[in-house]
Structure 1
Amino acid sequence: FDEFFGRRSRRGPGRRRGSDLRYDLKITLEEAFSGAEKTVTLEKHQPCSTCKGSGMKPGSAPATCPECGGTGNLRYQQGFFAISRTCHRCAGRGRIIKELCPKCRGSGFELVEKKLEVRIPKGVESGSILRLAGEGEPGEPGAVPGDLHVIIFIEEHPIFQRQGTELLCEIPISFPKAALGAELEVQALDGPVRLKIPAGTQTGKVFKLKGKGMPSLNGHRGDLHIRIFVEVPEKLNAKSRELIEKLAQQEKPENYPLSEAFLNRTKKTQA
């Protein structure tokens, strides 16, 4: 109501906070596992080094706004009411710049390249936002700057797939190892581990290595899930072919329970 009755508010126009900035940062799965320190380079505004953010030519002084007479407000009479509005020429400051800074042309800011250190915590996920307070754009004189929001994107890994704190991978093994059993050395993110493959392991069998997955932000460690698939040789030499043919001659249905069960289901369907 103060504006309608011609009473000017004592409170001046609010100083606007600086805008926030966004930076997309790609990291590896290994960096997300162990944590990392990354240096990011971005362009941002900062107070002009010549005029120190005033927008005025060094050595000059601001002049009283001729539009509002230095009050920062303009009053309009509408019938019985007097309305006060912020002066459009000086934006409520009551002063104007007559001699502009030759470097920033009166804006008070200059564009610079800045390097910042970003700490990547262990267990960070794609889409996580790291906030660097005060590293955004500067605000109006006397106002706080904005923040820098660093968005994390984890690059696709050639071996592991991630689901939260769980890691999955597929490992090929030969037919003899699947049939006879074997002990494999599997590379986890924090080093090699031994995995025992029992005799008769089938394609699709999943083994779980507890505590070998990704860490969470609160310190919990997920599991590593290893899916086996049996690789059949594409080319055979004469000796290998001879041995496999001998094996085929000794095959019995009870040695292949999955195949036998499938044939029985097929027979029931046809019946």
Structure 2
Amino acid sequence: MSAREWIGKDFYRELGVSSDATADEIKKSYRKLAKENHPDANAGNAEAEQKFKAVSEAYGVLSDPGKRKEYDEARQLFGGGGPGGFNFPGGGGGGFDVGDIFGQAGAQGGGFGGLGDMLGNLFGRRGAAGATTNRPQRGADVETDVRIDFVEAVKGATLPLRLSSPTTCGTCGGNGAKPGTSPRLCPTCSGSGLVSRSQGAFAFSEPCQDCRGRGKIIDDPCPECAGEGVSTRTRTLTVRIPPGVDDNQRIRLAGQGEPGRGGAQAGDLFVRVHVAPHALFGRKELDLTITVGVNFAELALGGTITVPTLDSKVSVKVPPGTASGRVLRVRGKGIAKRDGKQGDLLVTLQVAVPSTVDEKAKAALESYAEAVKDQDPRPEITELLQGR
């Protein structure tokens, strides 16, 4: 991509964030816009598809600290009337490529060699070497969301995932030409993608208008991708969710993102997992948690209670004189991960107080109250009150 093409795009505006937005703010805005404009949710809506591509391109630059730094520096220098006075696109600079201005000036001893190298690297060219606009470019990373239930998160699962995203065109194989034909070398720029012109004492280069800076001309474009080499397709992937995955955790699928340009590797697909809560169980790292109601007699006298697990059930011994709120640990009944780590089941005992009692229970409680009336359950409070 040329300097004019990149700087001329306002990636911050595409994502609806300010230029000083944090990485989390950028990610949050991208996820919201990508979800709203995803082709799966907007079938046949060309405008939404274009917006989806635009926010994906913007996120690909702004989510990478290195790319974002270069983008910000270049826009500060040349995109907003800063030092140098160049404005893109359509300003008074004649529509030339800044990277090539300083690249060629440096090569001719004009003193801009360092800046030319920086700009050359930024826009895919080396300032001192003239130009190649067709340097391979890694594909952008893609992120999507899946929702699973609590048991699937604990035990792991294998899920089909449908994605509508840019991918290498299957009809032309990515070269943009109709099957049976091939792109030809551009005679205007001899395959460099740039043409040079002189203006006063300076020599300028700009993207070749005949091949649009690609260095090749496609006489008979592919009917599927219209010569772009990339098309939007719906594909189904099998995603393996590992046991013990956390809510909001991301799983990386290498090479399943957007295709690379010029033979470069594809980006990665990140699957963000959302786990639905369970009606009975909770989670604390690798431990499962559950709250079990017990009556006063079970706590005072002790006994054995039956507690469910995700697989079956276990018997838990309650020691006599156990206080309400005590947590009992059942070893090895938590979450098991592939690396061999095993959590426990944490059982919180909570006394259940009946809202109503029948006459028989009432008489028994009154008898118990009479029997323990000399036992003070609140000695600290009684001592404080007596001191006043």
**Structure 2 equivalent of residue 261 of structure 1:** 380
1:192 aligns with 2:313: yes
The answer to which structure has the higher strand fraction is 1
Residues 8 and 84, structure 1, Cα contact 8 Å, conserved in 2: no
Q: 8 Å contact 1:253–1:260 — kept in the other structure?
A: no
Residues of 2 paired with 1:59 and 1:126: CA distance?
49
Unaligned 5+ runs, structure 1: none
> CA separation in 2, counterparts of 1:38 and 1:50?
28
SS in 1 for 2:378: helix
Separation (CA, whole Å) in 1 of partners of 2:142 and 2:209: 28
CA pair 100-229 structure 1, distance change in 2 beyond 3 A: same
Compared CA separation, residues 114 and 154, structure 1 to 2 (3 A): same
**Matches of residues 140-155 of structure 1 in structure 2 within 5 Å?**
140-155=261-276
Match of 2:89 in 1: none
Q: How does 1:200-211 map to 2 (within 5 A)?
A: 200-211=321-332
Give the TM-score, by structure 1 length.
Answer: 0.83
RMSD, aligned CA: 2.8
- Name the CA shift for 1:250/1:70 in 2 (closer, same or farther; >3 Å): closer
> 104, 113, 117: which is aligned to 1:3?
104
SS at match of 1:253: coil
Aligned counterpart, 2:225: 104
* 1:142–1:203 CA distance, 2 compared to 1 (3 A): same
What is the SS of the residue equivalent to 1:199?
A: coil
Q: Say which SS state the counterpart of residue 50 (structure 1) adopts.
A: coil
**Whole-angstrom distance in 1 between the partners of 2:185 and 2:342:** 65
**What's the CA shift string for 1:194-243, capped at 9, x where partnerless?**
11112332211221223333335632223322211111111222222222
Change (3 A) 1:10 1:65: closer
2:138 maps to 17
Please name the residue that 1:235 is paired with: 356
1:178 to 299, 321, 324: 299
User: 5+ unaligned residues in a row in structure 2: which ranges?
Assistant: 1-101, 109-127
Tell me whether 128-137 or 46-55 shows the greater mean CA deviation: 46-55
Q: Find the residue that maps to 1:92 and give its secondary structure.
A: coil
Do the aligned residues in 1 keep the contact of 2:166 with 2:231 (CA within 8 Å)? yes
Residues paired across the two proteins, number? 267
Q: Identity percentage over the alignment?
A: 36
> 1:9, CA displacement in angstroms?
3.9
- Rounded Cα–Cα distance in structure 2 between residues aligned with 1:266 and 1:222: 46
Residues 20, 88 of structure 1: CA spacing in aligned structure 2 closer, same or farther, 3 A cutoff?
farther
Check whether the contact 2:134–2:262 (CA below 8 A) recurs between aligned residues: no
Alpha carbons 1:33, 1:189 under 8 Å: kept: no
> Does the 8 Å CA contact 1:28/1:155 hold for their aligned counterparts?
yes
CA shift, 1:180, in A, is 2.4
Change (3 A) 1:88 1:177: farther
Query: What are the equivalent positions in structure 2 for 1:27-106 lying under 5 Å apart?
Result: 27-60=148-181, 62=183, 65=186, 68=189, 70-87=191-208, 89-106=210-227
Rounded Cα–Cα distance in structure 1 between residues aligned with 2:292 and 2:191: 77
* Contact 2:290–2:346 under 8 Å retained in 1: yes
Shift of the 162–136 alpha-carbon distance from structure 1 to 2, 3 Å rule, reads same
Which shows bigger deviation, 180-189 or 99-108? 99-108
Q: CA deviation at 1:3?
A: 2.6
Bigger fraction of residues in helix = 2
After TM superposition, the score normalised by the length of structure 2 is: 0.61
